[in-house]
Amino acid sequence: MLMMPWNIQQKVSVYNAIRSIKISIRARPGIDNASGKYSDVEVNVNKERYHRVEETKDRYRIPIVFEDFHKLKMTGTYEYPVHQHSNYEVIYVQKGPYLCKLNDEELSLEENQILVIKPGDWHQDHLRPWQFHYVLHFHFGENSSNKPGIGLFIDEVKPEEQICMNRFPTELMYFQELERESADGLPFASSVQDAVLEILFWRILRNLRPSVVSAHFRQQSENKLFVERLYRLFEERSAQKLETDEMAEALKISKRTLHNKCMELIQNSPARAFLEYKIEKAMQWIAYTEISIKEISYDLGFENPYHFSRVFKRVTGQAPTEFKKVR
């Protein structure tokens, strides 16, 4: 059936990481391919837009740098020489058990289990005919918050605690993607490999025992959780006023701690961050919907459209009407 758009009305709802846009489209008369006759048609299209979860600024992001990986299938028995690691090694078992000695402790991993070996560890593989596993090497790059020598584990971690708590039945695809990028030799292959590895790394990290993860990474996790909770609160209260003491009470921290964390993690005061969140939401509504500026101002808890327009211009440098014209 051939249909030409006639009128589009959009209503946006924003919640947590998912921002959903529902579009109702009324079509002009179209041709029914079956009968060849014109007919009035009304079509409803549901469109969902997914945004990244709000989190800390990129200066807290630790680069994960891919080095190499190999897959190992055994047809015989072999005791690999004892060796000390200079980088991180991930062992992903496809067919087990995988047997090894790590820092003088014997380990056995079953299918789809992952072991993370850290720099300085002494390691010996006990290779047997049934084994098939992937081995991947990586290291941490540097940024403004990551100094050389920062480790993934606490110093007292035991070898058995370097095994992820859960199994990974679907993580094989990441190793396959790394292999494909190496084999194809296409442009940006190393960047794609680093991106794939980063996904795998963070999934591994959240499956390690929290008690054995280093303070640096635990703090990163706590910071991300704080920012996610803060922006979730902003969304829940976006149609209302929200004072700083109310934010602190909702997050169960003091006003001083709230202020300090916001300045450290998002480089903004709590009140300013909430205001900018509202304006960002307004910009999306103006850009992608037909909702009136008057309705937007009330939906976001402003006293009146004039107050909203003044704040919008102060934050963006443009009045809402000017912003709408260029969209």
Average pLDDT, the chain: 82
> Which residues are registered as beta bridge partners of 89?
117, 137
Angle, alpha carbons 106-108-113 (nearest 5°) = 135
Total Cβ atoms within 10 A of residue 104: 9
Asked if the model's pLDDT at residue 149 lies above 80, the reply is no
pLDDT, tens only, 245-275 = 999 999 999 999 999 999 988 999 999 999 9
The Cα–Cα gap between 97 and 308 comes to 64
The Cα–Cα gap between 306 and 141 comes to 49
| Predicted local confidence at residue 42, as pLDDT | 56
Grade residue 56 by pLDDT with cuts at 50, 70 and 90: very low
Owner of token pair 């327009």: 309
How many residues make up the chain in this entry?
A: 327
Q: Is the peptide bond before 97 cis (omega within 30 degrees of 0)?
A: yes
* Cα end-to-end span (Å), the chain: 31
Asked if the model's pLDDT at residue 242 lies above 80, the reply is yes
Asked if the model's pLDDT at residue 2 lies above 80, the reply is no
pLDDT, tens only, 169-182 = 888 899 999 999 98
The Cα–Cα gap between 140 and 155 comes to 17
What is the arithmetic mean of pLDDT over 267-291?
93
Classify domain 237-327 at the CATH class level: mainly alpha
Total Cβ atoms within 10 A of residue 7: 10
pTM, two decimals, is 0.63
Chain centre to alpha carbon of residue 161: 25
Asked if the model's pLDDT at residue 74 lies above 80, the reply is yes
Grade residue 24 by pLDDT with cuts at 50, 70 and 90: very low
| Predicted local confidence at residue 223, as pLDDT | 84
Which comes out higher in pLDDT, residue 274 or 11? Answer: 274
pLDDT, tens only, 86-140 = 999 999 999 989 999 999 999 999 999 999 999 999 999 999 998 999 999 999 8
The Cα–Cα gap between 146 and 153 comes to 15
The Cα–Cα gap between 274 and 276 comes to 5
Which comes out higher in pLDDT, residue 310 or 36? Answer: 310
Identify the H or E element spanning 195.
helix 189-205
Grade residue 3 by pLDDT with cuts at 50, 70 and 90: very low
Strands, DSSP E only, in 277-323?
Answer: none
| 217, 198 Cβ separation under 8 angstroms | no
| Predicted local confidence at residue 88, as pLDDT | 96
The Cα–Cα gap between 114 and 70 comes to 15
Asked if the model's pLDDT at residue 201 lies above 60, the reply is yes
Structure tokens at 10: 């959009």
Structure tokens at 51: 């945004």
Grade residue 20 by pLDDT with cuts at 50, 70 and 90: very low
> Which residues are registered as beta bridge partners of 88?
138
Which comes out higher in pLDDT, residue 15 or 271? Answer: 271
| Predicted local confidence at residue 294, as pLDDT | 93
| 162, 109 Cβ separation under 8 angstroms | no
Nearest to 163 by CA among 218, 220, 219, 93: 93
Helical H runs in 14-105? none
Grade residue 36 by pLDDT with cuts at 50, 70 and 90: low
3-state secondary structure of 45: strand
Asked if the model's pLDDT at residue 237 lies above 50, the reply is yes
- Alpha carbons within 13 angstroms on the beta-carbon side of residue 73 total 0
Give the residue extent of every domain in the chain.
5-50, 62-213, 237-327
Owner of token pair 């989190």: 55
Superfamily for the 62-213 domain: Regulatory protein AraC (2.60.120.280)
Grade residue 9 by pLDDT with cuts at 50, 70 and 90: very low
What is the arithmetic mean of pLDDT over 195-224?
88
- Which range among 17-26, 212-221, 261-270 has the greatest average pLDDT? 261-270
Q: How far is CA 28 from CA 5, 23, 41, 177, 228, in A?
A: 6, 16, 7, 45, 44
| Predicted local confidence at residue 15, as pLDDT | 34
